[in-house]
Amino acid sequence: MRAIIPVAGIGSRLRPHTYTVPKVLLNVAGKPIIGHILDKVIQAGITEATIVIGYLGEMIKDYVLQHYTIKVDFVEQEERLGLGHAIYLSRHTISRSPILIILGDTIFDVDLAAMMEGTVSRLGVKHVDDPRRFGVAETNNGFISKLVEKPEHPKSNLAVVGLYYIHQPQILVDCLKEMIKANARTKDEFQLTDALQMMIERGERMQTYNIDGWYDCGKPETLLSTNQHLLSTYPPPADRPGVVIRPPAFISPEATVTNSIIGPHTTVAAGAIVENCIVMNSIISEGAELQDALLRDSIVGSNAHVLGNFKRINIGDSSELLFS
């Protein structure tokens, strides 16, 4: 089986980090986002992958080829014309065997092998309070009756969350081909949701598959939240002399940490140097250097330098001091 992983987006909501690093290479819980996704794919027994690259794509290609042995085809999406367009560009890598499409800015805690059982296509969904920024699935008698991309007035709160098991992918390719030939766009893009709706209208049966463990990595606050969740599943890090570790936390063996308090919910990536710091609920990326800093709810990019200024004071009773 093959996985299709579109990762061509520029990650504008994660700037400034994505000016120099593609979104899927941002570190979360000690590993790039794409690493977590590929680990899940391989664990599910999938043996081939197509990764659709674009912005800073060579960096993604280099990382995958250096760290994974799964057979991978790379497809470049020069113009970002939507998710449907990205899948269509991958058509030469798609056979008649089922495929799994996984969006590259989301980490799932789900049994993929169970989702891919049977002979019916399945779309991962999650109940959300406000589904207007998602594709939305409407169901009838256990099957999806309609899919709508980002509706203004949704008739369901089942959000399609970026995980698609397609049992007959050639039908999907045919529908995408028709859409692109007709220049049929929604919100100026060729939407995968629209192609899936065409499949339903032609008799293709699809079911929903509930995804409870769905962790978005598309914004700084959601990246930190995903980091928190993943770290909560890790064993406590090994003790380090002169370092207080408050689990859950991850400190790479290749990181240098001295005279500091790390955690909870903190990742310190390989090559980072942390000295005389207190760091909580933060991600310290590869090669970053921190000295004399107190950080909370922070993301420090690769090779960044943070120099703080701890103060020494002698203040009397009933006094008030404000540091700005």
Whether pLDDT at 260 is above 90: yes
Looking at residue 164, what is its pLDDT? 95
Whether residue 262 contacts residue 284, with contact meaning beta carbons closer than 8 Å, is answered with no
Which segment of 35-49, 80-94, 214-228 scores lowest on mean pLDDT? Answer: 214-228
Which segment of 90-94, 197-201, 273-277, 308-312 scores lowest on mean pLDDT? Answer: 308-312
Looking at residue 128, what is its pLDDT? 84
- Give the H/E segment covering residue 267: strand 266-268
pLDDT band at 321 (very low <50, low <70, confident <90, very high): low
Looking at residue 311, what is its pLDDT? 58
Chosen CATH of 2-220 out of 3.40.50.300, 3.40.50.1820, 3.40.1080.10, 3.90.550.10: 3.90.550.10
| Residue 132 to residue 192: CA distance in whole angstroms | 16
Looking at residue 315, what is its pLDDT? 58
Whether pLDDT at 230 is above 60: yes
Looking at residue 37, what is its pLDDT? 95
Q: How many percent of the chain have pLDDT more than 90?
A: 65
Mean pLDDT of 106-120: 90
Please report, as a single letter, which amino acid is at residue 164. Y
pLDDT band at 160 (very low <50, low <70, confident <90, very high): confident
pLDDT in tens, 193-216: 999 999 999 999 999 999 988 888
| Residue 208 to residue 124: CA distance in whole angstroms | 6
| Residue 34 to residue 24: CA distance in whole angstroms | 5
pLDDT band at 159 (very low <50, low <70, confident <90, very high): confident
More confident call, 316 vs 221: 221
- Give the H/E segment covering residue 183: none
Mean pLDDT of 50-59: 94
Start-to-end C-alpha separation, the chain: 56
Looking at residue 4, what is its pLDDT? 97
**Of 9, 11, 31, 44, which Cα lies nearest the Cα of 163?**
44
**Farthest CA pair distance, the chain:** 79
Whether pLDDT at 282 is above 90: yes
SS3 148: strand
Looking at residue 205, what is its pLDDT? 92
pLDDT band at 184 (very low <50, low <70, confident <90, very high): very high
Please report, as a single letter, which amino acid is at residue 243. V
Whether pLDDT at 310 is above 80: no
Whether pLDDT at 287 is above 70: yes
pLDDT in tens, 58-107: 999 999 999 999 999 999 999 989 999 999 999 999 999 999 999 998 89
Whether pLDDT at 318 is above 60: no
Mean pLDDT of 306-320: 63
Please report, as a single letter, which amino acid is at residue 220. P
Chosen CATH of 234-307 out of 3.40.50.1820, 2.40.40.20, 3.30.420.40, 2.160.10.10: 2.160.10.10
**Of 39, 21, 19, which Cα lies nearest the Cα of 29?**
39
* CB atoms inside a 10 Å sphere around CB 29: 24
* CB atoms inside a 10 Å sphere around CB 62: 11
pLDDT in tens, 242-259: 999 999 999 999 999 999
Do β-strands 289-291 and 305-307 pair in parallel, antiparallel, or remain unpaired? parallel
List the domain boundaries for the chain. Answer: 2-220, 234-307
Environment class of residue 323 by beta-carbon count within 10 Å: exposed (0-12), middle (13-18) or buried (19+)? Answer: exposed
Non-local (6+) Cβ contacts of 114 within 8 A are none
